[in-house]
Amino acid sequence: MKTSSLLLLFLTIGFGKLVAQNLTNPNFAAGSHPITVDKIVRNDTSLVIQITLENKLPNGYFCAEKKIVLNDLISGKKTEMNHAEGVPVCPEIYHFKWVGEKLQFSLYFPVLDTATRYVDLIEVCKENCLIINGLILDPKLNLLINRGYDAYTHENLSLALESFQSAITFYPDYPYGFMYGNVIRILLEERNSKEAKRWAQKLKDSQISDKYSILRQLNEEKGFSIE
């Protein structure tokens, strides 16, 4: 089975497993840098986000600004980072030694409301700021998405399709469109263009913030259009 490019991208950046109250490799919509979110740890005093960043440039460097915030995508509440570990705080800099070197670090935030399901992580800076869009904290949504990816890798397109459609149905307030993109790609692989166009129209009519970017990607990759 030929694997579509965006589905491969999200297989790489998000395959979350629930362990107790912690999440391993939680899903997210997009990142500004070549990163993985390795783990989210919740305890009585903090929420810790563990990140691995891969250097892609000769003479690359990285530092974390003092102000990094989590923006609750439903309430709009912003929570500022307490401190970082494993990475220099700007203006101190970590200089990568080679292309492909990975830096693992942890960002510590105050405890979030348990009702917080998805956030944007935003580094407040002037340029090359670290941003993670649509980081999913909800365990059940992560499990639904993971079931879809697992089914897809095992060529069970019907279960993959059902999983992503269920995730969209049960979490209609998630504001990014990668799950719609996965649904449409699977339908195109099944040669069900009529249903793919119906889901594309559903995406276009939605309040999804990056819907035009998703539709443009589909057009560039597949020559697909709802017109």
pLDDT in tens, 172-184: 999 999 999 999 9
Amino acid type, 10? F
CA dihedral 27, 17, 159, 132 (to 10 degrees): 0
Q: What is the pLDDT of residue 7?
A: 54
> Residue 4 above 80 pLDDT?
no
- The pTM is what? 0.87
Q: Which of 11, 61, 7, 55 is nearest to 33 (CA)?
A: 55
> Residue 10 above 70 pLDDT?
no
Tell me the domains of the chain and their CATH numbers.
27-136 (2.60.40), 139-222 (1.25.40)
In whole angstroms, what is the distance from residue 142 CA to residue 224 CA? 28
CA dihedral 147, 152, 154, 157 (to 10 degrees): 110
In whole angstroms, what is the distance from residue 55 CA to residue 62 CA? 9
Q: What is the pLDDT of residue 15?
A: 45
Mean of all residue pLDDT scores within the chain: 90
Task: Give the three-class secondary structure for 16.
Answer: coil
Give the CA distances from residue 24 to residues 40, 51, 139, 210, in Å, rounded to whole numbers and listed in that order. 7, 11, 10, 25
What is the per-residue pLDDT across 169-216, written as a single tens digit (0 to 9) for each? Answer: 999 999 999 999 999 999 999 999 999 999 999 999 999 999 999 999
H helical segments located in the chain: 5-13, 139-153, 157-170, 178-189, 193-204, 211-222
